Amino acid sequence: DAGITQSPRHKVTETGTPVTLRCHQTENHRYMYWYRQDPGHGLRLIHYSYGVKDTDKGEVSDGYSVSRSKTEDFLLTLESATSSQTSVYFCAVRGTVFPNEQFFGPGTRLTVL
């Protein structure tokens, strides 16, 4: 499982509140990713990181910010949650055996009421 944990695993929050999701990895992977998964859309990249304090946007980055102050932790923040951000969020790391391979965490189910 590439040593990836996500917290919390489930969260219910209200519109307008800030939310932070955490991804933690134990195997010193350089690249980390945040995706959201919605029915009919597959997995869509929100942001990714290529090192400590090095991040870049994905295809659906509006309304999200990220931070990576340590190699092992990648945080995803919804500054002011909206109902459209109700989704399942997955963290992933880039593997080192096969080119482009990624390993995924167990996911966080977020509901914004």
Binding another protein (rule: CB under 8 A), the pick from 68, 75, 85, 105 is 105
The answer to whether 32 touches 68, Cβ cutoff 8 Å, is yes
Which of 17, 28 has the CB closer to another protein? Answer: 28
Residue 42 binding another protein, by CB under 8 A: yes
In the set 7, 15, 50, 84, which binds another protein (CB under 8 A)? 50
7 with 105: CB under 8 angstroms? Answer: no
Q: Tell me if 103 contacts another protein by CB under 8 A.
A: yes
Total residues contacting another protein (rule CB under 8 A)?
27
- Per the CB < 8 A criterion, the answer to whether 8 and 108 are in contact is yes
Q: Is 99 in the site for another protein (CB under 8 A)?
A: yes
For every residue of 10-79, DSSP letters joined together read EEEE-TT--EEEEEEESS--S-EEEEEEETTTEEEEEEEEEETTEEEE-TT-TTEEEEEEETTEEEEEES
- 5, 43, 71, 77: which one contacts another protein (CB under 8 A)? 43
> Are 103 and 4 spatial neighbours (Cβ–Cβ below 8 Å)?
yes
User: Which CB atom, from 80 or from 106, has the smaller least distance to another protein?
Assistant: 106
Q: Which residues bind another protein (CB under 8 A)?
A: 4, 31, 33, 40-45, 48, 50, 58-59, 90, 92, 94-95, 98-107
